[in-house]
């Protein structure tokens, strides 16, 4: 299935340049305008075990907004949620101790409410494709995924083999596709079997599946925090 996206161009930046303070006000405003009614409490989410560790640069809505709005890439890897700098620090030190001591540890439910839901809202507000002049929405699809992420069996194989999943400017990709898909033309995205998704579809087919797979992986290595 090809990517069903606006044929004019990839999603582009929507906010006028009014400075960092205006951006933070925008982040706070989203909390009051949030529309996450499509997301239900699902049985795949564990609200007892802390199965996600989120770096300090992504663990609050304001910081998440600043980072994602500045085109920062977010990485999910075996229950860890990294920004670019934190992952670089871990690689440099070859040790997770400092990262684990500085991050927020979350259950599935809290991870959904404090990270996934705000990221969906920020992505919808900032990177949704719009017409150049009128600002009218041209598509209800807000995400483009590579085929390795959109297909459940491949997503599970990726994640269980320690391959990261990236969220970046409305794209959700594996490591091999992280540099290719965001800059690819619609034609190339179609050839690569990319798929455009609504928030609901990404939640149901990717995020909810990740909860199940992540829980299974952490349980097998007994890496839960309580």
Cα torsion through 163, 202, 106, 156, rounded to 10: -30
Compute and round to an integer the Cα radius of gyration of the chain.
17
DSSP per position, 61-103? HHHHHHHHHTT--EEEETTEEE-HHHHHHHHHHT-SHHHHHHS
115 lies in which domain range? 47-221
Confidence of residue 114 (pLDDT cuts 50, 70, 90): very high
Q: Residue 174 phi/psi, 5° resolution?
A: -85, 180
Asked if residue 14 is part of any domain, the answer here is: no
Higher-pLDDT residue of 208, 137: 208
| Tens-digit pLDDT profile for residues 130-155 | 444 455 555 678 899 999 999 878 99
Q: What's the rounded mean pLDDT across residues 63-83? A: 93
Cα torsion through 141, 36, 63, 22, rounded to 10: 80
Domain count, the chain: 1
* Lowest-confidence pick of 55-59, 156-160, 178-182: 178-182
Asked if residue 12 is part of any domain, the answer here is: no
Q: What's the rounded mean pLDDT across residues 191-209? A: 92
Asked if residue 70 is part of any domain, the answer here is: yes
The answer on pLDDT for 193 being more than 80 is: yes
Judge contact between 45 and 204, C-beta under 8 A.
Answer: no
């Amino acid at each position: 299935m090809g990517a069903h996206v606006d044929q004019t161009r990839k999603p582009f930046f929507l906010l006028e340049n009014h400075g960092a303070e205006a951006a933070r006000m925008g982040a706070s405003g989203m909390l009051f305008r949030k529309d996450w009614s499509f997301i239900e409490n699902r049985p795949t989410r564990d609200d007892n075990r802390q199965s996600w560790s989120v770096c300090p640069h992504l663990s609050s809505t304001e910081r998440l907004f600043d980072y994602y709005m500045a085109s920062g890439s977010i990485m999910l890897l075996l229950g860890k949620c990294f920004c670019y700098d934190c992952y670089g620090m871990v690689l440099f030190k070859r040790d997770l101790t400092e990262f684990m001591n500085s991050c927020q540890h979350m259950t599935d439910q809290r991870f959904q409410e404090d990270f996934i839901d705000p990221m969906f809202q920020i992505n919808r507000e900032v990177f949704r494709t719009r017409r150049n002049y009128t600002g009218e929405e041209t598509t209800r699809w807000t995400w483009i995924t590579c085929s390795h992420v959109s297909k459940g069996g491949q997503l599970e194989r990726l994640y269980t083999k320690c391959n990261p999943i990236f969220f970046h400017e409305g794209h959700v990709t594996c490591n091999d596709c992280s540099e290719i898909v965001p800059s690819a033309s619609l034609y190339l995205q179609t050839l690569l079997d990319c798929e455009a998704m609504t928030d609901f579809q990404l939640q149901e087919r990717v995020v909810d599946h990740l909860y199940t797979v992540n829980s299974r992986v952490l349980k097998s290595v007994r890496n839960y925090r309580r």
